[in-house]
Amino acid sequence: MQTVAIAGCGWLGLALAQRLQLQGWAVRGCSRKAEILTQLAQGGIPSTYLDLGEQLSCAKPSVLFDAQTLIINIPPGRHHQESSYAQRIGLLARAAQQAGIAQAVFISSTAVYQDDPAASWCDEQAALSRESRAEMMLAAEACVKHHFEHWSILRCAGLVGGERHPGRFLAGRSGLAGANCPVNLVHREDVIGAIQCVIERGCWGAIYNVAAPIHPPKGEYYPAAARALGLAAPSFSSVLGVGKRISSAKLMDELGFVFRYPDPLIMPPLCEHDVSGG
């Protein structure tokens, strides 16, 4: 039986925990939020309070770290904190390592790649961005590689699914630039599937992009997404933008991964209850 600890049981992590438990995995979870801990407990998932700041604060480390694999699903956040993102990930990684966890999956972002006017294809070897958020994510990735004997990094595109519908992102706005830029999105169901695939196959020491393989232009996609929710469609100006086109070919070719939702234009709308628990 696979045993996993999920650090970060928010929008993605909670759905992941519920899915893996349904499939017979032994799952542990954590959160800072009492309501999420309640949801985990109601679902029969052992869980504990965890907060990462200057120090790691974990109410029951023996509960969280009783696992073979740690899934690190803690985003940087938008608010200033005294400790850096990589330092906070390091606190968690060291605690897990000391508890005997030797393998980890880190949920990273395709924001690490550089945009360009041609919106070039980005595989895992593509040029990296020098923006602060990209450097923050890359430093955290390096921290995970340093602390775990076996690691895998999933660089995910923009996450959608369940109650997180892209039709809301730009609805009603006007004069937007970048209608030409390709959309890079991935459905929560496919991220969960990719995490499960990597762990089941023991694909360690690798980085994989996770993005729907079809990339409609923003000028086509976002108006259609808004209309699907009955919202005012955004309008775009003639000003072109810079972008990128994320390739998930490595994930599909090496692991045989098949996207459930390869085309953002036909991902489930908000009003449709999908099986990921949203």
The pLDDT score that the predictor gives to residue 55 is 92
Query: Which residue range(s) make up the domain with 35?
Result: 3-266
Average pLDDT along the chain: 92
Distance of CA 177 to the CA centre of its chain: 26
pLDDT classification of 78: cutoffs 50, 70, 90 = low
Q: What average pLDDT does this structure show over 135-153?
A: 96
> pLDDT at position 83, please?
64
pTM above 0.75, yes or no: yes
Number of compact structural domains in the chain:
1
Q: Residue 271 — very low, low, confident or very high, per pLDDT cuts 50/70/90?
A: very low
Tell me if 277 is assigned to some domain. Answer: no
Q: Is residue 168 part of a domain?
A: yes
| pLDDT for position 277 | 37
Asked whether residue 69 is assigned to any structural domain, the reply reads: yes
What confidence score (pLDDT) does residue 278 get? 34
Of all residues in the chain, the percent with pLDDT exceeding 90 is 86
**Band of residue 50 on the pLDDT scale cut at 50, 70, 90:** very high
| CA distance readout (Å), 260 to 9, 109, 191, 221, 224 | 23, 20, 10, 19, 20
Percent share of the chain, pLDDT over 70: 94
d(CA 88, CA 83): 7
* 274 found inside a domain: no
Q: What is the pLDDT of residues 198-253, one digit of tens each?
A: 999 999 999 999 999 999 999 999 999 999 889 999 999 999 999 999 999 999 99
Dist. CA 76–CA 89, nearest whole Å: 9
56: CATH: 3.40.50.720
User: Does residue 246 lie in a domain region?
Assistant: yes
Residue 275 lies in a domain: no
Q: Is the pLDDT of residue 80 over 60?
A: no
Which DSSP state fits 236? B
> Is 108 among the domain residues?
yes
Beta strands in 98-213 (DSSP E): 103-109, 121-122, 150-156, 158-160, 185-187, 206-210
Between 269 and 169, name the one with better pLDDT.
Answer: 169
Q: Answer whether residue 278 is part of any domain.
A: no
